[in-house]
A and B are shown apart, each in its own frame.
Chain A
Amino acid sequence: MDSVGSSYPVGGPPVTPAMSRPSPAPRPGPTPTTISAKIVVAGGFGVGKTTFVGSVSEIDPLTTEAVMTEASAGHDDLSATPNKQTTTVAMDFGRVSLDSDLILYLFGTPGQHRFWFMWDDLVRGAIGAVVLVDTRRLADCFSAIDFFEDRGLPYVVGLNAFDGQQPHRVEDVREAMSIDPSIPIVMCDARNRESTKQTLIALVQHAMAARMAAGARR
């Protein structure tokens, strides 16, 4: 399928004969000609999420705020906490125009437990997630991995090479973190555009494989 650079006729969604699956999504807009998609970039504080987003984004990463209800205590279980208050959390995002009618948004999100309720909004409809890992602080990414596992969102693990160095082998990290062999773990350099693109490609491929596997099970 070679749709790069092509444009679709006004009045109809893109339909590829080989994959003519009608989209049941409601369309408030009259003639949707541009499509958006999103990928979540998660990981611990200071692991390079904003750098990752910025290296591939065509705009400088922007920051937006999400206001949410937060438990005033006991962040791990909101339902059990009646006293809630609103808080504001910043999230960085970038934009990549992949075609004249296809825009990919990348969201860098804080990795702590207490922001999980924000993630629910973010992961809805997402392609998948990149979990960035600093191998010096493996535990920082566990909550993100648990979250994506729980929600069934496809994800890949990116081992960010700080100072261009990655002292650990992929398989050692996989074993240390007990990551399932089906989950891709890739080396990446968040500062490097080509490297971040390869990481995103690995994620999209993994998401495609996950969809096919899910389809085969049905």
Chain B
Amino acid sequence: MRDGTADDQPVRRAGRVVPVYAVTGGRTRSAGKELPVEALVTVTHSGRHAADLQLEYRTILGLAAAPVSLVEIGAALQVPVGVARVLVGDLADAGYVAVHLPQVGGDGAPGPEILERLLEGLRARSA
């Protein structure tokens, strides 16, 4: 079954006959999007219903049923994190996944509220 997003599929249906680098068209960086390695990825509604995707994309959509980081995706696919970045960028462009950036302040560092929560969380685990 195809829905309205089918035409936006990042990669045409194909068997895995090429290395992942070829899947990404040789790109190891998404245009204009330098996602941090800990950025979280979750599957969207349309991503859950995406059909005819290549294996790597399907694997990512499966992993992203729960929040999963770029670096975990890279490890699961056994590809460098730069390749995972490109694949996730493709899926995000197609609307199949949402990417959640870490919360940082204007200076690029995590804000005090995140530090507070980390501290609480670590202490709770120590109890």
Contact = CB atoms under 8 A, between A and B. Distances in A.
Whether chain B is bound by chain A comes out as: yes
A15 to B, nearest CB: 8
B122 A26 contact: no
A66 B113 CA distance: 30
A36 B123 CA distance: 18
A199 to B, nearest CB: 10
Contacts of A25: 101-104
Contacts of A72: none
Interface in A40-93: 62-67, 88, 93
A16 B115 CA distance: 13
Interface in B76-94: 79-83, 92
Contacts of B80: 64-67, 88
B106 to A, nearest CB: 6
A211 B74 contact: no
Contacts of A11: none
Interface string A21-42: 1011111111110111110000
Contacts of B115: 127, 204, 207-208, 211
A13 interface: yes
Q: Quick one: which of B39, B100, B104 has the most chain A CB within 10 A?
A: B100
A95 interface: yes
A186 interface: no
Contacts of A175: none
Interface of B: 28, 36-40, 42, 44, 67, 69, 71-72, 74-75, 79-83, 92, 98-106, 108-126
21 contacts: A1-B120, A14-B113, A19-B113, A21-B112, A28-B99, A28-B100, A30-B44, A34-B40, A34-B100, A35-B40, A36-B67, A37-B110, A62-B71, A66-B80, A66-B81, A67-B80, A104-B118, A105-B38, A121-B37, A127-B115, A211-B109
